Chain A
Amino acid sequence: MRRLLLFVPVILAVVLGVVLFAGIGKDPSHLESALIGKPVPAFSLKELQNPDKQFDNQLLKGKVQLLNVWATWCPTCRAEHSMLIKISRQYGVPVIGLDYKDNRQDALAWLDELGNPYSVVLSDPEGKFGFDLGVYGAPETYVIDREGIVRFRHVGEVTPRVWQDTLEPLIQKYREAD
């Protein structure tokens, strides 16, 4: 009986080992959005190209869409831009842009130069809406369902791989949901 007690350390070690082993290869800095399953926070933002035009949460309802947070000061945003164009033009998934903490003139020039993948570009010069959304660094890409509910967030570049493995299946799933 007392001998059995001596096996406690090895059992605890095995349990700890399994947990540590499962942690290998995962990105420990990966952070899920706090808004998953919740509606996009209320906003009322001007369109980048046309400041007279205001948009609110209605914009993100009715269909499954991507919301891409970008800025001209963000080099990774430049890297993923062509992929976003492919997603909106070739794969037919609407992408809403959120120009985050950016200079309007620079942003307009950027879209001229690289092309505009966005169905609408919202302008958030002070980053207020971004803050409410829990954005902590551009680029971030959100999957928003028909009801305007946040379903997923990807932080960092949208690579073809991310699209194929993560975003596309999710979009399919929420398109098929009722």
Chain B
Amino acid sequence: MIRAVILFVLIGCVQYAFATVNDVYPFDSDADRERFQTLTEELRCPKCQNQDIADSEAPIASDMRAEVYRMIRAGADNETIVDSLVARFGEFVRFKPRVEKRTLVLWATAPLVILIGVLMIAVMVIRSRRYSEHATALTPEQRERAERLLREHDAR
């Protein structure tokens, strides 16, 4: 069970010699740090397959973090970074699949269901109008009379 927990001791943790800064991955700007955070949370670890590379302790995840770090420092944009990892490890590493032919159903599910549902309800409401225009207009007296009728009917 829980492959993710078999911690891969040792290795990994590529070390950087930034003695003065505490961060494991130090950045010049908060924006870059946030990008790093987001990117590492959007990439799936090929080894511990149910973790993103930010959380995984597998050596490969730390290699991938290091690569993301290196590319951010080198000024690459998010797309370039993700693409370069996809080129090595496959579409699999994207936790958010691209919109493409084979993922159309996936992306369209919720909007489609809502659209169909709302249309069905609209049709129902419009249809219901012709049925019982009078029913809602019943006075309490009429209603009581109707219920009495009903009871008599049931008793029979």
Shortest beta-carbon distance from A6 to chain B in Å: 14
| Chain B residues positioned under 8 Å from A34 (CB to CB) | 86-92
In chain A between 128 and 154, which residues have their CB closer than 8 angstroms to a CB of chain B? Answer: 131-137
Whether A131 pairs with B46 at a CB distance below 8 angstroms is no
Assuming the contacts A34-B89, A131-B88, asked whether A136 and B11 have C-beta atoms less than 8 A apart, the reply is: no
CA of A34 to CA of B91, assembled, Å = 8
Shortest beta-carbon distance from B17 to chain A in Å: 16
Interface flag for B33 (CB, 8 Å): no
Instruction: Select one of A101, A133, A137 contacting B58, CB under 8 A.
Output: A137
Whether B63 pairs with A127 at a CB distance below 8 angstroms is yes
Interface flag for A110 (CB, 8 Å): no
A-B CB contacts (within 8 Å), total count: 40
| Chain B residues positioned under 8 Å from A135 (CB to CB) | 60
Interface flag for B142 (CB, 8 Å): no
CA of A32 to CA of B58, assembled, Å = 19
Shortest beta-carbon distance from B74 to chain A in Å: 16
| Chain A residues positioned under 8 Å from B92 (CB to CB) | 31, 34
| Chain A residues positioned under 8 Å from B3 (CB to CB) | 29
Instruction: Select one of B11, B63, B86 contacting A131, CB under 8 A.
Output: B63
| Chain B residues positioned under 8 Å from A35 (CB to CB) | 88
Interface flag for B35 (CB, 8 Å): no
Interface flag for A55 (CB, 8 Å): no
CA of A127 to CA of B47, assembled, Å = 16
Q: Using CB atoms, name the residue of chain A closest to B91.
A: A34
Listed in ascending order, the chain A residues whose CB lies under 8 Å from chain B are 29, 31-35, 73, 101, 127, 131-137
Listed in ascending order, the chain B residues whose CB lies under 8 Å from chain A are 3, 10-11, 46-47, 49, 58-60, 63, 67, 86-92
